[in-house]
A and B are shown apart, each in its own frame.
Chain A
Amino acid sequence: MNINITILWSSIAFFIFTWSCWYFIWPPLVNAIRTRQQTIADGIENAETAARDLAQAEQQADEITKNARQEAQTILDQARSQASSMVEAAKSEAREEGERLKAAGVAEIEQEANRIREALRSDVAALAVQGAEKILESDIDGDKHREMLDKLAAEL
Protein backbone atom coordinates (compact mmCIF):
# COMPACT_ATOMS: atom_id res chain seq x y z
CA MET A 1 0.00 0.00 0.00
CA ASN A 2 2.29 2.69 -1.27
CA ILE A 3 1.36 6.30 -1.61
CA ASN A 4 2.93 7.51 -4.82
CA ILE A 5 2.51 9.82 -7.78
CA THR A 6 -0.66 7.93 -8.82
CA ILE A 7 -2.45 10.13 -6.30
CA LEU A 8 -1.64 13.24 -8.33
CA TRP A 9 -2.59 11.65 -11.63
CA SER A 10 -5.90 10.62 -10.13
CA SER A 11 -6.56 14.19 -9.07
CA ILE A 12 -5.85 15.38 -12.60
CA ALA A 13 -8.06 12.65 -14.07
CA PHE A 14 -10.81 13.65 -11.64
CA PHE A 15 -10.59 17.25 -12.82
CA ILE A 16 -10.53 16.34 -16.52
CA PHE A 17 -13.51 14.01 -16.25
CA THR A 18 -15.66 16.39 -14.22
CA TRP A 19 -14.73 19.29 -16.50
CA SER A 20 -15.52 17.25 -19.64
CA CYS A 21 -18.87 16.27 -18.21
CA TRP A 22 -19.62 19.88 -17.36
CA TYR A 23 -18.50 21.18 -20.74
CA PHE A 24 -19.54 18.50 -23.25
CA ILE A 25 -22.26 16.35 -21.70
CA TRP A 26 -24.20 18.58 -19.37
CA PRO A 27 -25.54 21.34 -21.62
CA PRO A 28 -27.19 19.20 -24.34
CA LEU A 29 -28.50 16.60 -21.90
CA VAL A 30 -29.96 19.02 -19.40
CA ASN A 31 -31.26 21.17 -22.22
CA ALA A 32 -33.11 18.19 -23.66
CA ILE A 33 -34.55 17.35 -20.25
CA ARG A 34 -35.63 20.92 -19.55
CA THR A 35 -37.19 21.32 -23.00
CA ARG A 36 -39.12 18.11 -22.56
CA GLN A 37 -40.27 19.12 -19.10
CA GLN A 38 -41.46 22.41 -20.55
CA THR A 39 -43.26 20.61 -23.37
CA ILE A 40 -44.97 18.28 -20.94
CA ALA A 41 -45.90 21.13 -18.62
CA ASP A 42 -47.35 23.06 -21.55
CA GLY A 43 -49.24 19.98 -22.69
CA ILE A 44 -50.75 19.46 -19.27
CA GLU A 45 -51.70 23.10 -19.05
CA ASN A 46 -53.28 22.99 -22.51
CA ALA A 47 -55.23 19.89 -21.57
CA GLU A 48 -56.49 21.60 -18.43
CA THR A 49 -57.51 24.68 -20.39
CA ALA A 50 -59.27 22.51 -22.95
CA ALA A 51 -61.12 20.63 -20.23
CA ARG A 52 -62.20 23.92 -18.68
CA ASP A 53 -63.33 25.25 -22.05
CA LEU A 54 -65.24 22.06 -22.74
CA ALA A 55 -67.03 22.24 -19.41
CA GLN A 56 -67.90 25.86 -20.10
CA ALA A 57 -69.18 25.02 -23.59
CA GLU A 58 -71.28 22.16 -22.22
CA GLN A 59 -72.78 24.49 -19.65
CA GLN A 60 -73.54 27.03 -22.35
CA ALA A 61 -75.11 24.37 -24.55
CA ASP A 62 -77.23 23.21 -21.64
CA GLU A 63 -78.38 26.75 -21.03
CA ILE A 64 -79.23 27.29 -24.69
CA THR A 65 -81.16 24.03 -24.85
CA LYS A 66 -83.05 24.91 -21.70
CA ASN A 67 -83.93 28.35 -23.03
CA ALA A 68 -85.05 26.91 -26.35
CA ARG A 69 -87.22 24.36 -24.63
CA GLN A 70 -88.79 27.04 -22.47
CA GLU A 71 -89.41 29.22 -25.49
CA ALA A 72 -90.96 26.36 -27.39
CA GLN A 73 -93.19 25.63 -24.42
CA THR A 74 -94.26 29.29 -24.29
CA ILE A 75 -95.03 29.34 -27.99
CA LEU A 76 -96.95 26.12 -27.71
CA ASP A 77 -98.96 27.44 -24.77
CA GLN A 78 -99.69 30.65 -26.61
CA ALA A 79 -100.76 28.76 -29.72
CA ARG A 80 -102.97 26.49 -27.70
CA SER A 81 -104.70 29.35 -25.89
CA GLN A 82 -105.01 31.27 -29.15
CA ALA A 83 -106.59 28.26 -30.85
CA SER A 84 -109.05 27.71 -28.04
CA SER A 85 -109.98 31.36 -27.96
CA MET A 86 -110.45 31.28 -31.76
CA VAL A 87 -112.68 28.23 -31.41
CA GLU A 88 -114.64 29.99 -28.65
CA ALA A 89 -115.01 33.09 -30.78
CA ALA A 90 -116.19 31.04 -33.74
CA LYS A 91 -118.62 29.16 -31.56
CA SER A 92 -120.14 32.29 -30.08
CA GLU A 93 -120.31 33.92 -33.50
CA ALA A 94 -122.07 30.89 -34.87
CA ARG A 95 -124.44 30.88 -31.96
CA GLU A 96 -125.21 34.57 -32.47
CA GLU A 97 -125.72 34.01 -36.17
CA GLY A 98 -128.07 31.17 -35.40
CA GLU A 99 -129.98 33.25 -32.94
CA ARG A 100 -130.19 36.06 -35.44
CA LEU A 101 -131.40 33.74 -38.18
CA LYS A 102 -133.93 32.16 -35.85
CA ALA A 103 -135.20 35.55 -34.74
CA ALA A 104 -135.50 36.66 -38.37
CA GLY A 105 -137.39 33.47 -39.23
CA VAL A 106 -139.72 33.86 -36.28
CA ALA A 107 -140.37 37.50 -37.23
CA GLU A 108 -141.07 36.53 -40.82
CA ILE A 109 -143.42 33.79 -39.74
CA GLU A 110 -145.24 36.16 -37.42
CA GLN A 111 -145.43 38.74 -40.15
CA GLU A 112 -146.86 36.13 -42.51
CA ALA A 113 -149.32 34.97 -39.87
CA ASN A 114 -150.45 38.54 -39.25
CA ARG A 115 -150.82 39.14 -42.93
CA ILE A 116 -152.84 35.96 -43.32
CA ARG A 117 -154.85 36.86 -40.22
CA GLU A 118 -155.56 40.32 -41.66
CA ALA A 119 -156.61 38.77 -44.91
CA LEU A 120 -158.75 36.23 -43.12
CA ARG A 121 -160.25 38.98 -41.00
CA SER A 122 -161.22 41.03 -43.94
CA ASP A 123 -162.51 37.93 -45.68
CA VAL A 124 -164.49 36.99 -42.60
CA ALA A 125 -165.93 40.52 -42.40
CA ALA A 126 -166.94 40.34 -46.02
CA LEU A 127 -168.40 36.84 -45.57
CA ALA A 128 -170.26 37.94 -42.46
CA VAL A 129 -171.70 40.92 -44.28
CA GLN A 130 -172.74 38.70 -47.18
CA GLY A 131 -174.22 36.17 -44.77
CA ALA A 132 -176.12 38.83 -42.88
CA GLU A 133 -177.35 40.40 -46.11
CA LYS A 134 -178.54 37.02 -47.12
CA ILE A 135 -180.27 36.54 -43.80
CA LEU A 136 -181.78 40.01 -43.70
CA GLU A 137 -182.17 40.18 -47.34
CA SER A 138 -181.40 43.70 -47.19
CA ASP A 139 -178.38 45.66 -47.60
CA ILE A 140 -176.60 46.34 -44.59
CA ASP A 141 -175.22 49.67 -44.76
CA GLY A 142 -171.67 48.94 -44.85
CA ASP A 143 -170.69 52.22 -43.44
CA LYS A 144 -173.28 51.99 -40.73
CA HIS A 145 -172.17 48.66 -39.48
CA ARG A 146 -168.61 49.12 -40.11
CA GLU A 147 -167.89 49.49 -36.45
CA MET A 148 -169.71 46.36 -35.49
CA LEU A 149 -168.05 44.38 -38.22
CA ASP A 150 -164.62 45.52 -37.25
CA LYS A 151 -165.33 44.48 -33.71
CA LEU A 152 -166.40 41.11 -34.97
CA ALA A 153 -163.31 40.73 -37.11
CA ALA A 154 -161.09 41.72 -34.17
CA GLU A 155 -162.67 39.04 -32.09
CA LEU A 156 -161.74 36.38 -34.63
Chain B
Amino acid sequence: MATGEVTSAEYIEHHLSNLTYGRMPDGTWQFAHNPAEAAEMGFWAIHVDSFAWSLGLGLVFLLTFGIVARRATSGVPGMFQCAIEMIVEMIEEIARDIFTYKNDYIAPMAVTVFVWVFLMNLMDLVPVDWIPHLATLLGIHYMRIVPTTDVNVTMGMALFVFAMILFFSVWKKGVGGFLAELSFHPFPKFLAPLNFVLEAVTLLTKPLSLGLRLFGNLYAGELIFVLICLLFSGGIVLTLSGVVLQWAWAAFHVLIITLQAFIFSILTVVYMSQAYDTGEDH
Protein backbone atom coordinates (compact mmCIF):
# COMPACT_ATOMS: atom_id res chain seq x y z
CA MET B 1 0.00 0.00 0.00
CA ALA B 2 1.34 3.37 -0.98
CA THR B 3 1.79 5.02 2.37
CA GLY B 4 2.40 8.72 2.89
CA GLU B 5 6.14 8.75 2.43
CA VAL B 6 6.19 6.42 -0.59
CA THR B 7 5.46 7.88 -4.02
CA SER B 8 3.65 5.95 -6.71
CA ALA B 9 6.85 5.52 -8.72
CA GLU B 10 8.65 4.12 -5.69
CA TYR B 11 5.74 1.81 -4.97
CA ILE B 12 5.80 0.40 -8.49
CA GLU B 13 9.58 0.11 -8.53
CA HIS B 14 9.47 -1.69 -5.20
CA HIS B 15 6.99 -4.19 -6.56
CA LEU B 16 9.09 -4.85 -9.63
CA SER B 17 12.39 -5.34 -7.78
CA ASN B 18 13.65 -8.79 -6.94
CA LEU B 19 15.25 -9.86 -3.73
CA THR B 20 18.77 -10.07 -5.10
CA TYR B 21 21.67 -11.76 -3.38
CA GLY B 22 25.10 -11.17 -4.85
CA ARG B 23 28.62 -9.83 -4.61
CA MET B 24 28.97 -6.09 -4.20
CA PRO B 25 31.77 -4.32 -6.09
CA ASP B 26 33.61 -4.01 -2.79
CA GLY B 27 33.70 -7.81 -2.53
CA THR B 28 31.08 -8.52 0.17
CA TRP B 29 28.21 -10.99 -0.48
CA GLN B 30 24.87 -9.56 0.64
CA PHE B 31 21.24 -8.84 -0.29
CA ALA B 32 20.85 -5.74 -2.41
CA HIS B 33 19.24 -2.87 -0.51
CA ASN B 34 17.98 -1.10 -3.61
CA PRO B 35 17.71 -1.65 -7.38
CA ALA B 36 20.96 0.22 -8.00
CA GLU B 37 22.88 -2.15 -5.76
CA ALA B 38 21.20 -5.12 -7.48
CA ALA B 39 22.35 -3.80 -10.85
CA GLU B 40 25.90 -3.38 -9.57
CA MET B 41 26.03 -7.03 -8.54
CA GLY B 42 26.16 -8.07 -12.19
CA PHE B 43 25.69 -11.52 -13.62
CA TRP B 44 26.64 -13.63 -10.62
CA ALA B 45 23.82 -12.34 -8.45
CA ILE B 46 20.75 -14.49 -7.90
CA HIS B 47 17.09 -13.54 -7.55
CA VAL B 48 16.39 -15.40 -4.34
CA ASP B 49 12.65 -14.65 -4.27
CA SER B 50 11.62 -15.73 -7.76
CA PHE B 51 13.95 -18.72 -7.72
CA ALA B 52 12.74 -19.88 -4.30
CA TRP B 53 9.10 -19.49 -5.31
CA SER B 54 9.66 -21.36 -8.56
CA LEU B 55 11.43 -24.16 -6.68
CA GLY B 56 8.71 -24.27 -4.05
CA LEU B 57 5.92 -24.39 -6.63
CA GLY B 58 7.77 -27.04 -8.57
CA LEU B 59 8.01 -29.08 -5.39
CA VAL B 60 4.29 -28.55 -4.78
CA PHE B 61 3.70 -30.04 -8.22
CA LEU B 62 6.08 -32.93 -7.65
CA LEU B 63 4.70 -33.80 -4.23
CA THR B 64 1.06 -33.51 -5.23
CA PHE B 65 1.44 -35.57 -8.37
CA GLY B 66 3.92 -37.89 -6.67
CA ILE B 67 1.52 -38.72 -3.84
CA VAL B 68 -1.28 -39.33 -6.33
CA ALA B 69 1.00 -41.45 -8.51
CA ARG B 70 2.15 -43.48 -5.51
CA ARG B 71 -1.42 -44.17 -4.43
CA ALA B 72 -2.73 -44.45 -7.97
CA THR B 73 -5.22 -47.23 -8.37
CA SER B 74 -6.30 -48.72 -11.64
CA GLY B 75 -9.70 -49.35 -10.06
CA VAL B 76 -12.19 -46.60 -9.32
CA PRO B 77 -10.12 -43.43 -8.78
CA GLY B 78 -10.87 -40.88 -6.10
CA MET B 79 -11.84 -37.30 -6.83
CA PHE B 80 -8.27 -36.01 -6.55
CA GLN B 81 -6.74 -38.77 -8.64
CA CYS B 82 -9.38 -38.11 -11.28
CA ALA B 83 -8.47 -34.44 -11.43
CA ILE B 84 -4.76 -35.18 -11.74
CA GLU B 85 -5.42 -37.84 -14.36
CA MET B 86 -7.54 -35.43 -16.38
CA ILE B 87 -4.67 -32.96 -16.58
CA VAL B 88 -2.19 -35.71 -17.40
CA GLU B 89 -4.39 -37.24 -20.07
CA MET B 90 -5.26 -33.92 -21.67
CA ILE B 91 -1.64 -32.80 -22.08
CA GLU B 92 -0.42 -36.29 -22.92
CA GLU B 93 -2.98 -36.73 -25.66
CA ILE B 94 -2.09 -33.43 -27.29
CA ALA B 95 1.62 -34.15 -26.90
CA ARG B 96 1.13 -37.55 -28.51
CA ASP B 97 -0.70 -35.97 -31.44
CA ILE B 98 2.04 -33.42 -32.04
CA PHE B 99 5.09 -35.49 -31.16
CA THR B 100 4.73 -38.77 -33.02
CA TYR B 101 8.24 -40.08 -32.42
CA LYS B 102 9.45 -42.53 -29.82
CA ASN B 103 10.53 -40.63 -26.74
CA ASP B 104 8.91 -41.23 -23.36
CA TYR B 105 10.39 -38.07 -21.93
CA ILE B 106 8.33 -35.61 -23.97
CA ALA B 107 4.86 -36.19 -22.51
CA PRO B 108 5.91 -36.02 -18.83
CA MET B 109 7.95 -32.96 -19.65
CA ALA B 110 4.94 -31.30 -21.23
CA VAL B 111 2.79 -32.09 -18.19
CA THR B 112 5.47 -30.84 -15.80
CA VAL B 113 5.88 -27.61 -17.75
CA PHE B 114 2.15 -27.03 -17.96
CA VAL B 115 1.44 -27.55 -14.27
CA TRP B 116 4.59 -25.85 -13.04
CA VAL B 117 4.14 -22.75 -15.21
CA PHE B 118 0.45 -22.68 -14.31
CA LEU B 119 1.26 -22.72 -10.59
CA MET B 120 3.86 -19.99 -11.02
CA ASN B 121 1.38 -17.91 -13.01
CA LEU B 122 -1.29 -18.59 -10.42
CA MET B 123 0.70 -16.59 -7.87
CA ASP B 124 -0.25 -13.56 -9.92
CA LEU B 125 -3.81 -13.86 -8.60
CA VAL B 126 -2.65 -13.42 -5.01
CA PRO B 127 -3.23 -9.74 -4.22
CA VAL B 128 0.06 -8.03 -4.93
CA ASP B 129 0.57 -6.59 -1.45
CA TRP B 130 -0.21 -9.52 0.81
CA ILE B 131 2.98 -11.53 0.72
CA PRO B 132 5.42 -8.64 0.08
CA HIS B 133 3.87 -6.84 3.05
CA LEU B 134 4.21 -9.94 5.20
CA ALA B 135 7.82 -10.25 4.05
CA THR B 136 8.48 -6.63 4.96
CA LEU B 137 7.14 -7.29 8.45
CA LEU B 138 9.58 -10.23 8.66
CA GLY B 139 12.41 -7.94 7.60
CA ILE B 140 12.69 -8.98 3.94
CA HIS B 141 12.53 -5.83 1.91
CA TYR B 142 11.90 -7.14 -1.58
CA MET B 143 9.62 -10.03 -2.45
CA ARG B 144 8.23 -10.87 -5.88
CA ILE B 145 6.06 -13.94 -5.64
CA VAL B 146 5.33 -14.56 -9.34
CA PRO B 147 8.42 -16.31 -10.73
CA THR B 148 7.21 -16.05 -14.33
CA THR B 149 7.37 -12.25 -14.12
CA ASP B 150 11.13 -12.67 -13.74
CA VAL B 151 12.71 -12.89 -17.17
CA ASN B 152 15.50 -15.03 -15.69
CA VAL B 153 13.07 -17.81 -14.80
CA THR B 154 11.20 -17.86 -18.11
CA MET B 155 14.36 -17.53 -20.19
CA GLY B 156 16.05 -20.15 -18.04
CA MET B 157 13.30 -22.60 -18.94
CA ALA B 158 13.40 -21.52 -22.58
CA LEU B 159 17.16 -22.00 -22.66
CA PHE B 160 16.81 -25.55 -21.43
CA VAL B 161 14.25 -26.16 -24.16
CA PHE B 162 16.77 -24.67 -26.60
CA ALA B 163 19.44 -27.02 -25.30
CA MET B 164 17.09 -29.93 -25.84
CA ILE B 165 16.33 -28.72 -29.39
CA LEU B 166 20.06 -28.72 -30.16
CA PHE B 167 20.61 -32.05 -28.42
CA PHE B 168 17.79 -33.91 -30.15
CA SER B 169 18.57 -32.31 -33.52
CA VAL B 170 22.19 -33.45 -33.35
CA TRP B 171 21.21 -36.84 -31.93
CA LYS B 172 18.66 -37.58 -34.63
CA LYS B 173 20.35 -35.94 -37.65
CA GLY B 174 24.02 -35.88 -36.71
CA VAL B 175 26.06 -32.67 -36.65
CA GLY B 176 26.32 -32.74 -40.44
CA GLY B 177 22.66 -33.41 -40.93
CA PHE B 178 21.70 -30.62 -38.55
CA LEU B 179 24.03 -28.13 -40.28
CA ALA B 180 22.72 -29.31 -43.65
CA GLU B 181 19.17 -28.69 -42.49
CA LEU B 182 20.16 -25.18 -41.47
CA SER B 183 22.06 -24.46 -44.69
CA PHE B 184 20.13 -26.03 -47.56
CA HIS B 185 16.75 -24.43 -46.92
CA PRO B 186 14.83 -22.51 -48.02
CA PHE B 187 17.01 -21.42 -50.97
CA PRO B 188 19.12 -23.70 -53.22
CA LYS B 189 22.43 -25.03 -51.98
CA PHE B 190 24.66 -22.37 -53.55
CA LEU B 191 23.05 -19.81 -51.25
CA ALA B 192 24.06 -21.83 -48.18
CA PRO B 193 25.48 -18.90 -46.16
CA LEU B 194 22.27 -16.93 -46.62
CA ASN B 195 20.22 -19.98 -45.74
CA PHE B 196 22.32 -20.56 -42.65
CA VAL B 197 21.83 -17.01 -41.41
CA LEU B 198 18.08 -17.21 -41.98
CA GLU B 199 17.69 -20.60 -40.34
CA ALA B 200 19.95 -19.66 -37.43
CA VAL B 201 17.75 -16.64 -36.73
CA THR B 202 14.71 -18.89 -36.91
CA LEU B 203 16.34 -21.30 -34.51
CA LEU B 204 17.34 -18.60 -32.04
CA THR B 205 13.89 -17.07 -32.22
CA LYS B 206 12.36 -20.22 -30.80
CA PRO B 207 13.70 -19.96 -27.21
CA LEU B 208 13.53 -16.17 -27.27
CA SER B 209 9.88 -16.07 -28.24
CA LEU B 210 9.08 -18.95 -25.89
CA GLY B 211 10.62 -17.27 -22.84
CA LEU B 212 9.72 -13.68 -23.63
CA ARG B 213 6.09 -14.45 -24.48
CA LEU B 214 5.48 -15.94 -21.06
CA PHE B 215 7.48 -13.23 -19.33
CA GLY B 216 5.80 -10.41 -21.25
CA ASN B 217 2.27 -11.59 -20.58
CA LEU B 218 2.81 -12.15 -16.89
CA TYR B 219 4.91 -9.05 -16.35
CA ALA B 220 2.25 -6.90 -17.98
CA GLY B 221 -0.43 -8.62 -15.94
CA GLU B 222 1.39 -8.03 -12.70
CA LEU B 223 2.10 -4.42 -13.58
CA ILE B 224 -1.60 -3.82 -14.15
CA PHE B 225 -2.40 -5.38 -10.78
CA VAL B 226 0.15 -3.03 -9.18
CA LEU B 227 -1.36 -0.05 -10.98
CA ILE B 228 -4.86 -1.05 -9.86
CA CYS B 229 -3.56 -1.27 -6.30
CA LEU B 230 -2.38 2.33 -6.55
CA LEU B 231 -6.07 3.30 -6.79
CA PHE B 232 -6.64 2.03 -3.26
CA SER B 233 -4.65 4.96 -1.84
CA GLY B 234 -7.06 7.43 -3.49
CA GLY B 235 -10.50 8.48 -2.30
CA ILE B 236 -13.57 6.28 -1.82
CA VAL B 237 -14.53 6.46 -5.51
CA LEU B 238 -11.07 5.44 -6.66
CA THR B 239 -10.97 2.62 -4.13
CA LEU B 240 -14.32 1.25 -5.24
CA SER B 241 -13.36 1.42 -8.91
CA GLY B 242 -10.10 -0.30 -7.93
CA VAL B 243 -12.05 -3.14 -6.34
CA VAL B 244 -14.12 -3.60 -9.49
CA LEU B 245 -11.04 -3.41 -11.73
CA GLN B 246 -9.11 -5.80 -9.52
CA TRP B 247 -11.91 -8.33 -9.80
CA ALA B 248 -12.33 -7.87 -13.55
CA TRP B 249 -8.63 -8.11 -14.30
CA ALA B 250 -8.24 -11.16 -12.05
CA ALA B 251 -11.13 -12.90 -13.81
CA PHE B 252 -9.57 -12.15 -17.17
CA HIS B 253 -6.16 -13.15 -15.87
CA VAL B 254 -7.41 -16.64 -15.01
CA LEU B 255 -7.67 -17.17 -18.76
CA ILE B 256 -4.25 -15.67 -19.46
CA ILE B 257 -2.31 -17.71 -16.92
CA THR B 258 -3.86 -20.98 -18.09
CA LEU B 259 -3.41 -20.11 -21.74
CA GLN B 260 0.21 -19.06 -21.29
CA ALA B 261 1.05 -22.23 -19.37
CA PHE B 262 -0.62 -24.26 -22.10
CA ILE B 263 1.17 -22.41 -24.90
CA PHE B 264 4.56 -22.80 -23.24
CA SER B 265 3.98 -26.51 -22.74
CA ILE B 266 2.66 -27.23 -26.23
CA LEU B 267 5.27 -25.10 -28.00
CA THR B 268 7.95 -27.06 -26.17
CA VAL B 269 6.50 -30.25 -27.61
CA VAL B 270 6.28 -28.67 -31.07
CA TYR B 271 9.95 -27.66 -30.93
CA MET B 272 10.93 -31.17 -29.84
CA SER B 273 8.93 -32.56 -32.73
CA GLN B 274 10.72 -30.25 -35.14
CA ALA B 275 14.07 -31.30 -33.71
CA TYR B 276 13.15 -34.94 -34.36
CA ASP B 277 11.81 -34.24 -37.83
CA THR B 278 14.33 -35.58 -40.35
CA GLY B 279 12.02 -35.11 -43.33
CA GLU B 280 13.73 -33.96 -46.52
CA ASP B 281 11.09 -31.46 -47.58
CA HIS B 282 9.40 -28.75 -45.62
Contacts and interface: CB of A to CB of B under 8 A. Distances in A.
A7 B147 CA distance: 11
Nearest to B55: A13
Nearest to B50: A6
Interface stretch (B35-43, B174-182, B246-254): B35-43
Contacts, number: 137
A78 B45 CA distance: 110
A49 interface: no
B62 A26 contact: no
B96 to A, nearest CB: 11
A77 B47 CA distance: 103
Contacts of A10: 51, 54, 152-157, 160
A30 interface: yes
B160 A2 contact: no
B152 A7 contact: yes
Contacts of A18: 105, 108-109, 112-113
Contacts of A3: 43, 151-152, 155
22 contacts: A1-B151, A2-B41, A4-B22, A4-B41, A4-B47, A5-B45, A7-B153, A7-B159, A10-B157, A10-B160, A13-B51, A13-B55, A21-B61, A21-B109, A24-B66, A25-B69, A27-B69, A28-B72, A32-B74, A33-B89, A35-B74, A36-B77
Interface of A: 1-11, 13-15, 17-18, 20-22, 24-33, 35-36, 39
